[in-house]
Structure formats: structure tokens, C-alpha cells
Amino acid sequence: MVDVSQHKFVPDHTVLDEGELEEVLEEYNIAKTDLPKIKRTDPALQDADAGVGDVVRVERDSRTTETAVVYRLVIE
């Protein structure tokens, strides 16, 4: 079976620790539940060790800013 998370077009997904999460929430002045969602069963999370309730940093290549960083809340 193909491991989709290792495909060259799938951006890096990294689980944030509590300290990083607090910094992000404070920087954007939001609650964790205000973040866009990603399902735990998403193939891109296969290797990320993310559980429901975790927040994932997604780092994508960008033509304008070199790297674009977005955050997603993992849901069931």
C-alpha cells in the first residue's frame, strides 16, 4: 500500500507541544476550537502521531513567501 504521507506534494505535518500551542493561540488571539479542522483519519497524518485534540502545524511551499505555515485542530 502507498504511504500518502511520504508523497512529495504532501506538506510537513508536525504536532505542536503545549508551549508552542499557547504561543500560537496568544499570537492570533484565538481559542483552539477556532482553528480550521483536520480529521484524524486524514492520510497526511499517518506518521504525525497526532491524536484528537492535538494541533498540527502544516508547512507548505509557497511561491510568494518561501514557506506558508497553517495550523489545524485534529478532530475525530
- Set out the domains of the chain in order of their start, with CATH numbers: 4-75 (3.90.940.20)
- pLDDT, tens digit, for every residue of 25-59? 999 999 999 999 999 998 888 776 889 999 999 99
In the sheet that holds 55-62, the strands lie side by side as 12-15, 55-62, 66-75, 37-39
| pTM reported for the whole predicted model | 0.84
User: Which pLDDT band holds residue 7 (cuts at 50, 70, 90)?
Assistant: confident
Lowest mean pLDDT among 8-17, 21-30, 50-59, 62-71: 8-17
Lowest mean pLDDT among 3-17, 35-49, 54-68: 3-17
| Contact criterion met (CB below 8 Å) for 43 and 4 | yes
Residue 10 phi, psi dihedral angles, 5° rounding: -90, 120
Tell me the CA distances in angstroms from 24 to 20, 42, 56, 66, 68, one per residue in order: 6, 23, 11, 20, 15
